[in-house]
Homo-oligomer: A and B are copies of this chain.
Amino acid sequence: QSNVTVYGVVDATVESVQAKGGNAADIERRTRVTSNSSLIGFRGTEDLGNGLKALFQVESGFNADGSGTSTLATRDTFVGLTGGFGTVQLGKLTTFMRQAGAKVDFNPAATGIGFQAATYGTIGGIKTGVDERINNAVMYTSPNFSGFAAQLAYSAGENKLDRTAPAEDVNANAYQLAAAYENGPLYVSAGYALSKDPSAAANPGNGNFAGTFGLGGNASDKLKTARVAAKYTFPTNTSISALWDQTKYEADLSIASTEAKRTAWMVGAEQKFAGNQAVYLQYSRSQKIKEEVCVDGIGCADLDGKTQFAQWTLGYTYSLSKRTMVKAYYTRINNQRESNVDFYLSSIGGVRADQDPTGFGLGLRHTF
């Protein structure tokens, strides 16, 4: 029987949210008590000799507020080996590309309604999956060379059954190739993700692209994301960060094809002060979705609408200790006329085009 570490986080906030604007009926202000990525985990390592180690982790998210149903192993859960050759893991995993979103975000642990993946982790609100853990994963991470590491991740789609006539092999596998450098004050990463048949049920992190972008039903479609992120901390305890993400959805049926592309970016800054406090401000923006639909023998049409939107978050943290923090934040999504995007985490629900979700909150975060 080995050494198991029990660890976790309970993060809960009292929030006031609303969504107004546009022509639809307002979503009136209401008070919520929200659990923000609360989790409990069990992990450990075993030294196998010759520099080789076995790794395991079982991590489960839970709603600290009693809402919904919380189940086991919903967060990073794996078995793996690490040694001179690098690290191999099997399970449900966070990749470098997902990590990049968290690295540049100044919300504690990149959680809550202020987390801004709504812009760079979706196409018009449909999640690309890059900011989600990948299921059925095998991941190789290189050894760390003075802060630099490369990573190759594979997620098995597991549903290679023909689903429509005429018979067609679908194979909703996903791949990510990324590199990250982290040393002292500097963090930089770059990565590329390819998701085949991203609307297949086996990719729960992904949304229904096939239904949204012109070609319904099953298609040999693809989702491609390139992402670059960086963060730098100055000796003044000032940190700045930026992220750029370009995602393209492509579908090609025998008689028609469609492509939807959007570019998103984020910038942020945080100032620590008085030893245990910090303020941060971050802004991100999803540019207009460039959508083109082509029908064989007829031609192509652009379907671009006013689909831009942006989000900004202002936050403050007060650390009572290394493990316990009081936090406060305000965030707002500005949707343009044809955008109805909601918060990425703890969404309000029912947001309609041109409505702007806003919220502020105050709460406690404890890490154990």
Contacts and interface: CB of A to CB of B under 8 A. Distances in A.
A324 to B, nearest CB: 4
Contacts of A48: 320-321, 324
A225 B31 CA distance: 23
Contacts of A149: none
Contact of A2 (B25, B161, B323): B323
Contact of A12 (B31, B78, B368): B78
B350 A161 contact: yes
- The secondary structure that dominates the A interface is strand
A332 to B, nearest CB: 19
A171 interface: yes
A162 B134 CA distance: 37
Interface in A61-114: 62-67, 69-74, 77-81, 90-92
A5 interface: yes
A204 to B, nearest CB: 8
Residue among A29, A30, A134 with the highest chain B CB neighbour number at 10 A: A30
A12 B65 contact: no
B56 A66 contact: no
Interface in A149-186: 155-162, 167, 169, 171, 173
Given A14-B138, A32-B158, A42-B6, A364 B65 contact: no
B6 A364 contact: no
Interface string A34-76: 0100101010101011001010111010111111011111100
A196 B49 CA distance: 54
A184 B14 CA distance: 37
Contacts of A46: 321, 323-324, 366, 368
Contact of A73 (B63, B91, B138): B63
A4 interface: yes
B72 A60 contact: yes
B66 A14 contact: no
A157 B65 CA distance: 12
B321 A81 contact: no
A30 B64 CA distance: 37
A10 B363 contact: no
B136 A32 contact: yes
B66 A136 contact: yes
A320 B161 contact: no
Contact of A72 (B31, B70, B171): B70
Interface in A306-361: 320-321, 323-324, 350
A27 B161 contact: yes
B25 A162 contact: yes
A153 to B, nearest CB: 11
Contact of A90 (B28, B65, B73): B65
A137 B6 contact: no
12 contacts: A1-B7, A14-B138, A31-B158, A33-B155, A38-B58, A44-B368, A52-B320, A64-B91, A65-B136, A66-B73, A66-B92, A66-B134
Closest 4 CB pairs of A and B: A66-B135, A66-B92, A30-B160, A12-B90
